[in-house]
Amino acid sequence: MKTILILDDNGERIAAFQKMVPALGDEFELKIWRDASSMASESESFFPTAAIISLSYGGDPKPFETGLDAAKFLAQARPVCPVIIHSTDTDHGCSMENELRFADWIVERIRLGGTGSIETIWLQKIREFLAAHPNTWPAKLPADHDERIQRALLSLDGLSVGDGFGECFFTRPEVIERRLESQDPPPPPWFVTDDTIMALSIVRCLKRYGHIEQDALAAEFAREYAREPQRGYGGTAHGILRAIGEGTPWETAAGRVFDGQGSCGNGGAMRAAPIGAYFAYDLNRVIAEAKASAEVTHGHPDGQTGAIAVALAAAWMVREREFSAKPSHALIEFVLEQIPHTDTYYRLKKALEVPLELSPRSAALFLGNGSQVISSDTVPFCLWCAARHTDTYTDALWTTVSGLGDRDTTCAIVGGIVALSAGRHSIPDEWLKAREPIKF
Ligand SMILES: [Mg+2]
């Protein structure tokens, strides 16, 4: 079966499309959406059979309801078939065309004079496209893909709530101490930062491809950065993401910073937990995919080690949960056995000497707390916090944030890991509601 996907909110045109499709043959089916948000949430399951996508702009300017929103959504996916823009709105039609063209979709705008022209102009363009461009859907998704994505989404919730929670602790010292003492969660909303935005891109990438597709991930990182550059990105990230957005290959952009050494920052680690969740039962893939996800922005081996360590910790939580993981150094031992011997490894090794009963402040003094925003100064403390609280999400975050330092990122890392062992029920509803809504 081949599917023609249509976005249009005009009843007469929809009727005309429905009348036309049988003319193409029995193998074609039609799927119509009247608004972009429904199309965005449902259309991906049709990508493997998509033959043509045809978009109108629509007349309703509500957020995420127009053809331009649909085009932006498609632009984040790998092209699967040609797109026709049958919008009568020229300005918006041009913007839609650009969105798709820049993301390498084959796209053409046609001008429909009325429903009659669907039988002529539209049908002719469809036939022309069908003859020239077969479906290019490439993904070979694993049989348990949906289950894996559910785990990645749980990790993402843990990560994003942690990110928003930790970010609220960049405030006056007396407020911080009062909150820590009373364990009073900060007042909502908890705005999320770059940690969540980049982890979202990673989970979307896993959902679309079932692996880290580096070019697509780099492009999405750059698009999200261009859309909202003020999400707390690190100093070096601005330059790298801007360069990728301007067309510099990610290998070049990520490799040339710090005199050609690449970044060893904690940005690869902060977004890696969902990768461990997705590949939990295949540790070689956890390592390879976490490395791939870090490489697009972090050329330095230690920046990649941080991502591998966090993803492995997340995988361990998924696997050990079945045996009700208890707080212990076993998590750290497991990670040490498998990560490259770079700075993060040696600092993490020290974490074995830090008793889990020690106060987080003392542990942070010994292990670092991310204030240098590099992997080796961030990841060891995070894994110590996660090992200390495998079974209680909120305790894990209170411990982590009391270490201060790069607290949105440390809380994002720990939240993304511990949610997997403590379970969805361990993230309080009020905390989820306090977090700024995020659109997966
Ligand atoms: Mg951040």
Complete DSSP assignment for 305-316: HHHHHHHHHHHH
State how many domains the chain has: 2
How far does residue 378's CA lie from ligand 1's centre (Å)? Answer: 13
Q: Which residues contact 385 (CB under 8 A, 6 or more apart)?
A: 360, 363, 396, 399, 400, 403, 410, 414
d(CA 140, CA 136): 12
- β-pair type (28-33, 50-55): unpaired
pLDDT at position 387 is 96
**Separation of alpha carbons 262 and 252, rounded Å:** 10
Give the pLDDT of residue 87: 80
- Cα 411 to middle of ligand 1, angstroms: 10
CA 119 / ligand 1 centre spacing (Å): 52
Distance 208 CA to ligand 1 centre (A): 25
CA–CA dist 123, 31 (Å, integer):
16
pLDDT of residue 330: 95
Is 200 part of any domain? Answer: yes
Same domain, 76 and 196: no
6 SS3 class: strand
Helical residues (DSSP H) of 210-338, grouped into ranges = 214-227, 235-245, 250-255, 257-260, 267-270, 273-278, 283-295, 301-321, 330-336
Q: Which of 409, 363, 92, 418 is nearest to 233 (CA)?
A: 409
d(CA 283, ligand 1 centre) in Å = 27
Question: Which residues hold their Cβ within 5 A of ligand 1, which is an ion?
Answer: 193-195, 232, 408
For residue 242, how far is its CA from the centre of ligand 1 (angstroms)? 17
For residue 167, report the distance from its CA to the centre of ligand 1, in Å: 7
pTM of structure: 0.77
What parts of the chain have a pLDDT lower than 50?
none
Q: Is residue 250 located within the same domain as residue 286?
A: yes
Determine the distance separating the centroid of ligand 1 and the alpha carbon of 249, expressed in angstroms.
24
On whether both 90 and 227 belong to a single domain, the answer is no
What integer pLDDT is reported at residue 108 of this predicted model? 93
- Supply the pLDDT for residue 259: 87
Domain termination residue (choose one: 82, 105, 132): 132
Place of tokens 């509601």: 433
- Under DSSP, the state recorded for 112 is -
Residues 104 and 149 placed together within one structural domain of the fold: no
The answer as to whether 41 is a domain residue is yes
Please give the distance, rounded to the nearest whole angstrom, from the Cα atom of residue 310 to the centre of ligand 1: 16
Residues 32 and 155 in one domain: no
The residue type of 154 is L
| Domain span including residue 41 | 2-132
Distance from residue 412's CA to the centre of ligand 1 (Å): 8
Tell me which residue has tokens 């295949």: 282
- Bridge partners (DSSP) of residue 390 are none
Both 124 and 154 in a single domain?
no
Instruction: Tell me what pLDDT residue 266 has.
Output: 97
Q: Is residue 140 part of a domain?
A: no
**Residues 370 and 242 occupy one common structural domain:** yes
CATH label of the domain that carries residue 363: 1.10.4080.10
Q: Which of 109, 132, 155 is where one domain is finished?
A: 132
pLDDT at 61: 57
Residues 223 and 109 in one domain: no
Establish if 62 belongs to a structural domain.
Answer: yes
Q: If you measure from the C-alpha of residue 232 to the centroid of ligand 1, how many angstroms do you get, rounded to a whole number?
A: 5
Element housing 29 (H / E): strand 28-33
pLDDT of residue 361: 96
